[in-house]
Amino acid sequence: MKYEEKAKQFAYKAHEGQLRKDGVTPYIEHPKAVVGILKNAGIADDTILSAAWLHDVVEDCNVSLSTVRAEFSGEIAELVDGMTQREHEGETDDEYRQRIARNNNQVKMVKLADVLHNMRTTSTARAEKRMKIYNSMSSAWNVYKGFAYEVCPELARLIDEAFKNTTKHLEV
């Protein structure tokens, strides 16, 4: 692996002290799980796995895309950029989802693993957030399902299963 170990160390440092929305789980557990999901799906590509470790550092940490580009390859930086929602530029959730759907398959694979992990961890959300989570997940899956089975059938199947499981546990 050319960059994956470096990306892992970079992500650990960038997310140091951050917690997931549950207020308990260290944030690094999310990119770690995304990488694990990709590896379990048989993805061993160094560029994809490195981008998976780094997929939230620009959006959620004090890290610029130019820093990612300088530390890693331009290809990894492009994948991270493809995963980064541009809320500060006024990009809506729907516009972000549509951009993901138009992106390359590497970005789509990381996003699918990201969605799967988020779906698997919704049970820790507070009750008052569950409807918002369900609506967001439903909107995302409606867009991503269009390409998911083509890009990575195993991830698509797991997401569909997780989505169905999640809807059973959410009050809708």
Tell me, yes or no, if 60 is annotated catalytic: yes
Burial call 104-118: b when 16+ CB within 10 Å, e when fewer: eebbbbbbbbbbbbb
Helices 105-120 and 46-54 sit at what angle, rounded to 10 degrees?
Answer: 50
Instruction: List the catalytic residue out of 29, 59, 71, 75.
Output: 59
The token pair at 19 is 């917690």
Tell me, yes or no, if 46 is annotated catalytic: no
Instruction: List the catalytic residue out of 29, 45, 46, 60.
Output: 60
Helices 74-83 and 46-54 sit at what angle, rounded to 10 degrees?
Answer: 50
Residues with active-site annotation: 59-60
